[in-house]
Amino acid sequence: MSAKRRYGFAQLVPYGALGLPLAALGLPLTVFLPPFYAAMPGLNTAIVGIMIFLARLFDVLTDPLIGTASDRTSWRLGRRRPYILLGTPILMVAAWFLFVPGASASAVYLLVWSIAAYLGWTLIYLPYTTLGAEMSADYDERSRITAWREGFFVAGTLVAILLPAGLSRMADSEAAGLEAIAWFLVVALPVTVAWFVWAVPEPEGAASRIRWADSARLLAENRPFRRLLLAYLLNGAANGLPAALFLFFVQAILGADQATAGVFLVVYFLSAVAGLPVWLWIGRSWSKHRLWCASMAVVAGVFIFTVTLSDSLYGFIGYTLICVLGGSCLGVDQATAASIQADVIDEDTAAGGDGRAGLYFGLWGMATKLAFTLAIGIAYPLLWLAGFDAGTDNDGLARWTLVALYGLLPVLIKVGVIAMMWRFPLDRDRHARLQAEIGRARGQTQNAG
């Protein structure tokens, strides 16, 4: 791992580009697929929510397993890249069957191909983000690397919005839009994976050999990790609820059609692209946790107004402003949190760990997916119990439940995360001391050798 190296476009662009097809899959899995399957014969929001919940439970368990396996791998291609190559064909096949189902796909069909898609995605994404954390030990360069990745993720999300929206309108079929996403993934994923493997060097690192008992002890003693893990779990739930309920909200509360919903998403993610460099400039001398808290405070401050919106001109204008202001915080919310994750691993390394970034990112991935799993598993059944039915008129109780789950609960959760992270102990000065400790320890090891 290079502490001071500053990467150029020749490495950062292919590194970030792999996020493009991964993100193009992520949004549809969260936003478009659940309502699409819920409208199929024999399915409803409760059944779809339960199937996705079960698939996500399986997905949650794979993260620490894949992360630990990559930590302990010592192959010619490296520790991380073999898993990316393994996951590529799995994700391509699973995404095709998931996004191009038959006219009457069953609950079992949804469950099986969701599990396969999540497995392929994790085999790629987890080593991909772990490698990014290992590319540099510098406090600010880590933020720069993650910002490039998250910037491409936002661009991939825009593809996932615009491509199906355009084709769905042309073909007058929602299924045509989902098939377009499948085609994009099948073409773009192998190209970007090949570019990534060829252009992005994997930092040298020996396979982890630490004993399981010592590994568990170091995890338990890493207090910044424990705090960040809980904050990451809660913030993931706060982000997952609006994502899972977005289409329901704009259609049932704002009275918008799917094309207008696509416009809202475009505004939101374009604001994320524009906002990321602004936020990084604002926080260039801040500690990362304070920058993260500031972005969450802005989101909470504007998102609370979703509870006042309705099917009116005020509702459309107000929601557009919320998309602009809230969207401007999306990139920094994702990039800063990921950069803090890499810094927390240095606490483990300084205490005697031996390059277990895969395990740490696996546990964070597990927390993120568990958060969204809980969001889906709780929100969809609660909507069903309240009598909410997608595509039909709903009574006051159903609409109020939707608004509370979409707009109120995420704000309350983010306020709690801010309180938890404001005095986070791993700031810029603490990280500099950790790097000095790690450097001295490595120097002593080399001299002893």
Is pLDDT at 368 greater than 90 in this prediction?
no
pLDDT grade for 319, boundaries at 50, 70 and 90: very high
pLDDT tens digits along 85-112? 999 999 999 999 999 887 778 889 999 9
pLDDT tens digits along 37-60? 888 888 887 888 888 888 888 888
CA distance 121 to 215: 26
Predicted local confidence at residue 335, as pLDDT:
82
More confident residue, 203 or 445: 203
Q: Which domains occur in the chain, in start order?
A: 13-199+217-442 (1.20.1250.20)
Q: Residue 367: name the closest of 338, 390, 387 by CA.
A: 338
Is pLDDT at 414 greater than 90 in this prediction?
yes
Is pLDDT at 440 greater than 80 in this prediction?
no
- Encoding tokens for residue 360? 């740490």
pLDDT grade for 416, boundaries at 50, 70 and 90: very high
Is pLDDT at 352 greater than 70 in this prediction?
no
> Is there a contact between 150 and 331 (Cβ–Cβ < 8 Å)?
yes
Q: Where are the alpha helices (DSSP H) in 28-138?
A: 33-38, 45-71, 81-99, 107-134
Is pLDDT at 3 greater than 60 in this prediction?
no
Region 196-212: mean pLDDT is 79
Predicted local confidence at residue 379, as pLDDT:
86
Is pLDDT at 220 greater than 80 in this prediction?
no
CA distance 346 to 332: 22
> Is there a contact between 112 and 50 (Cβ–Cβ < 8 Å)?
no
pLDDT grade for 118, boundaries at 50, 70 and 90: very high
DSSP 18: T
**Whole-model pTM?**
0.78
Burial class (CB in 10 A: 0-12, 13-18, 19+), 317: exposed
Q: Residue 16: name the closest of 205, 149, 157 by CA.
A: 149
Mean per-residue pLDDT of the chain: 85
> Is there a contact between 385 and 394 (Cβ–Cβ < 8 Å)?
no
Neighbouring residues of 305: CB distance < 8 A, sequence distance ≥ 6: 318, 322, 407
- Encoding tokens for residue 150? 């998250």
Q: DSSP string spanning 303-329? A: HGGGGG--SSHHHHHHHHHHHHHHHTT
- DSSP, collapsed to helix, strand or coil, labels residue 2 as strand
pLDDT tens digits along 372-402? 777 877 888 888 888 887 767 878 898 899 9
Find tokens 């499948």 and name the residue. Answer: 182
Predicted local confidence at residue 192, as pLDDT:
96
Q: Residue 400: name the closest of 281, 310, 293, 325 by CA.
A: 310
